Amino acid sequence: TRILVLNGPNLGRLGSREPEVYGSGNLADLEALLVESVPPGIEIDLRQTNDEGELIDWLHEAVDSATPVVLNPAAFTHYSYGLRDAAALVTKAGLPLIEVHISNPHTREEFRHDSVISGVATGVIAGFGFDSYRLGVDQILRARS
């Protein structure tokens, strides 16, 4: 079983980007944490892009390959209706899509309080650093039929 762990814009800069908000770990550290946390036979397919279209294509790929998704949409969270529609394709196909955030956007600037993704996500986890992803992956494994 494979789990897609998709990351939106600027998350390739984790480690050096606002470490007081996002911590000092980079994407490779995140991948290692997730790979360590899953049982044998579960594949973590972690990707990052700054490109909205590429992220949308990856969600289409999730639908076509029936692959569950953990998604940190980053800033697209707050305004991308294109990404929202693609996320809806995933959950409408009966696949889990867990929206995750490293920080808790509700404690931050006003524009971060709204998510256009949450309304079509299976669930949302925010504010637990890299553990937000781990909790998302754990939930996908728990709920697996």
Q: Using CA atoms of 113, 117, 118, 121 in order, give the dihedral in degrees to the nearest 10.
A: -160
Q: Looking at beta carbons only, is 17 or 92 nearer to ligand DQA?
A: 17
72 binds ligand DQA (CB under 6 A): yes
Q: How far does the chain reach from its first CA to its final CA, in angstroms?
A: 12
Cα–Cα distances (Å) from 111 to 98, 122, 125, in that order, read 21, 22, 18
Phi, psi of 81 (to 5 degrees): -70, -25
| 60 annotated active-site | no
- Options 60, 79, 81, 101, the catalytic residue: 101
Give the binding range for ligand DQA (CB under 6 A) out of 44-52, 62-70, 86-94, 101-109.
Answer: 101-109
50 binds ligand DQA (CB under 6 A): no
Kindly list the residues in this chain that would bind ligand DQA in the complex (CB under 6 A): 10, 72, 74-75, 77, 101-103, 105, 112
Instruction: Give the residue numbers marked as catalytic.
Output: 22, 101
